[in-house]
């Protein structure tokens, strides 16, 4: 059952069944990915409707042409790219971006898969609601891709991953059937959870065409603080204290290392440095509280209790929206500073939260055994999710360390795995981590995954080579 290229004849036949504007040039936007590891190939089709998506998928399945579902193209692990093999159809959802309905009294919005994440935020805000999924690429990422990759981001602590924000899906399955699953229900125990199976399957089990998503009441008042913590362990204790006082009101809890401030000073000197004397570890705490609570006072109470408990040594509470923005900018610009410095190796990992302090110590040891590097470790501490990036020491560049790159990655991932963590916390497997999944994945889970893939996509047309390695195919 070898896959075949999308031939001129195949495309000509499809052109008879779809509007002309569905066919688009395969411009670089469709063939590049943010990290520049792969160059893609394919014929770009952007259908107007779910029926047209089904038409394309059916045609591809019949002709055994690969389908690469395409959202905003912002994925970081290559799941949106087909670098080689038979020429695929790149199935872009960009023309399907309607808000099909919004029900503020239900806290529900139904959007098509091509809607830009930021536009979903705006639609929610227009009815005084919050759609909390927020990632750096929100201005170009599309909701279908966010769901296909189970995107995370800064609000997972309070509101969960993309998975947790989805009530229902409409999707085209590999055989071309449309699953009409756009339920606006909070409880529905009628059969297997196909929704969560598609979410996070990175386009390998079907094409998400629309979603019913949860909205939330906007918190009555919001506040942000930066606090210098004595250690990562103290940061965890501070989080527990914050939750004992404010419960779900803690919206984000991000840890940063002084190394990040140094990188910011070096590469983005216009960013205002929050501390005169850069600390080793500090956290950003964001809260959204109920009516009757003043976020500033609540953060003051937290700080003074934490000071008394010896968890924090310094801190500042934003006194205005502008200052909140300033604090967040420090966090949000660290990835850009990292890019400018140029990492040898970067890692999107998660750990059981109580293991994080130990991981930070052992991670340094592991890296030091390979050579002299600088480490910038920061991330969503409240979710146990660290972005752990390894950089050359001053005077060297990443090009000097190409030989050590794989060793660093392997050693750190081995450590993460040994400590019960995940080597892909929020970015997914894509093409980049297929080998990691084979190395670290549970064998029973992997065999169940392969059986499910084979059951739903027996010809293997959906995003071949992503998540699971292409199986040897017999013609």
Segment 373 to 412, residues that bind a copy of itself, using CB under 8 A: 380, 382-385
* Neighbour order of strands in the sheet with 108-112: 99-103, 108-112, 207-214, 166-172, 178-181
Nearest approach, Cβ of residue 158 and a copy of itself (Å): 8
d(CA 254, CA 232): 11
- Whether 311 contacts 234, CB under 8 Å: yes
Q: For a copy of itself, give the closer residue by CB, 179 or 373.
A: 179
Crossing angle of helices 295-308 and 232-246, rounded to 10°: 130
Q: For a copy of itself, give the closer residue by CB, 85 or 247.
A: 247
Q: CA torsion sign, 40 to 44 to 47 to 52?
A: negative
Longest CA–CA span in the chain (Å) reads 74
Residues 261-300 that bind a copy of itself (CB under 8 A): 288-293, 297-298
Give the x-and-dash track for 105-134 against a copy of itself (CB under 8 A): xxxx--------------------------
The answer to whether 154 contacts a copy of itself (rule: CB under 8 A) is no
What is the signed CA dihedral for 434, 436, 441, 446, rounded to 10 degrees?
A: 20
Q: For a copy of itself, give the closer residue by CB, 3 or 76.
A: 76
List the one residue from 13, 39, 244, 309 that touches a copy of itself (CB under 8 A).
Answer: 244
Nearest approach, Cβ of residue 298 and a copy of itself (Å): 6
Q: For a copy of itself, give the closer residue by CB, 91 or 370.
A: 91
Q: For a copy of itself, give the closer residue by CB, 18 or 434.
A: 434
Within 8 A by CB and 6+ apart from 451, the residues are none
Residues 297-326 that bind a copy of itself (CB under 8 A): 297-298, 301
- Whether 428 contacts 149, CB under 8 Å: yes
List the one residue from 335, 342, 371, 441 that touches a copy of itself (CB under 8 A).
Answer: 441
Within 8 A by CB and 6+ apart from 455, the residues are none
The answer to whether 178 contacts a copy of itself (rule: CB under 8 A) is yes
Nearest approach, Cβ of residue 309 and a copy of itself (Å): 14
Binding piece for a copy of itself, criterion CB under 8 A, among 134-142, 276-284, 311-319, 414-422:
414-422
List the one residue from 161, 209, 224, 259 that touches a copy of itself (CB under 8 A).
Answer: 161
DSSP state of 393: P
* Other Cβ atoms closer than 10 A to 256: 23
Nearest to 204 by CA among 94, 41, 69, 92: 69
DSSP state of 333: H
Nearest approach, Cβ of residue 445 and a copy of itself (Å): 5
Q: For a copy of itself, give the closer residue by CB, 65 or 198.
A: 198
Residue labelled with tokens 């001053």: 394
Q: For a copy of itself, give the closer residue by CB, 86 or 428.
A: 428
List the one residue from 271, 423, 432, 461 that touches a copy of itself (CB under 8 A).
Answer: 423
């Amino acid at each position: 059952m070898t896959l075949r290229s999308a031939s001129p004849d195949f495309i000509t036949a499809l052109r008879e069944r779809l509007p002309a504007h569905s066919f688009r040039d395969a411009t670089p936007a469709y063939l590049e990915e943010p990290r520049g590891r792969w160059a893609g190939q394919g014929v770009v089709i952007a259908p107007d409707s779910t029926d047209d998506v089904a038409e394309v998928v059916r045609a591809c399945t019949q002709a055994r042409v690969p389908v690469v579902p395409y959202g905003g193209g912002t994925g970081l692990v290559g799941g949106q790219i087909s670098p080689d093999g038979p020429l695929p159809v790149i199935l872009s959802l960009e023309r399907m971006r309607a808000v099909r309905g919004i029900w503020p009294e239900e806290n529900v919005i139904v959007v098509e898969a091509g809607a830009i994440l930021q536009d979903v935020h705006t639609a929610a805000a227009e009815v005084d609601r919050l759609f909390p999924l927020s990632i750096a690429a929100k201005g170009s990422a599309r909701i279908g891709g966010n769901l296909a990759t189970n995107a995370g981001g800064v609000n997972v602590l309070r509101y969960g991953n993309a998975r947790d924000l989805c009530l229902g899906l409409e999707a085209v399955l590999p055989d071309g059937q449309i699953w009409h699953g756009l339920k606006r229900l909070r409880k529905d125990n009628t059969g297997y959870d196909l929704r969560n199976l598609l979410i996070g399957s990175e386009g390998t089990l079907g094409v998400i065409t629309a979603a019913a998503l949860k909205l939330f009441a906007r918190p009555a008042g919001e506040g942000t603080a930066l606090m210098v913590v004595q250690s990562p362990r103290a940061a965890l204790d501070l989080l527990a204290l914050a939750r004992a006082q404010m419960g779900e009101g803690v919206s984000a809890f991000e840890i940063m290392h002084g190394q990040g401030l140094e990188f910011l000073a070096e590469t983005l000197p216009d960013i205002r440095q929050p501390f005169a004397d850069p600390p080793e570890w500090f956290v950003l705490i964001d809260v959204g509280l109920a009516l009757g609570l003043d976020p500033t006072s609540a953060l003051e109470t937290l700080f003074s209790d934490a000071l008394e408990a010896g968890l924090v040594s310094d801190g500042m509470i934003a006194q205005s929206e502008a200052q909140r923005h300033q604090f967040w900018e420090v966090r949000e610009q660290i990835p850009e500073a990292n890019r400018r410095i140029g990492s040898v190796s970067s890692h999107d990992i998660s750990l059981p939260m109580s293991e994080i302090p130990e991981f930070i110590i052992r991670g340094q040891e592991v890296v030091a055994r390979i050579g002299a590097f600088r480490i910038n470790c920061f991330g969503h501490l409240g979710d146990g999710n660290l972005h752990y990036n390894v950089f050359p020491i001053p005077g060297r560049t990443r090009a000097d360390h190409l030989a050590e790159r794989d060793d660093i990655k392997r050693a750190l991932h081995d450590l993460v795995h040994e400590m019960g963590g995940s080597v892909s916390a929020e970015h997914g497997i894509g093409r980049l981590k297929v080998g990691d999944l084979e190395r670290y994945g549970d064998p029973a889970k992997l065999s169940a995954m392969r059986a499910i893939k084979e059951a739903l996509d027996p010809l293997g047309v959906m995003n071949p080579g992503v998540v699971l390695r292409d199986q040897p195919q017999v013609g």
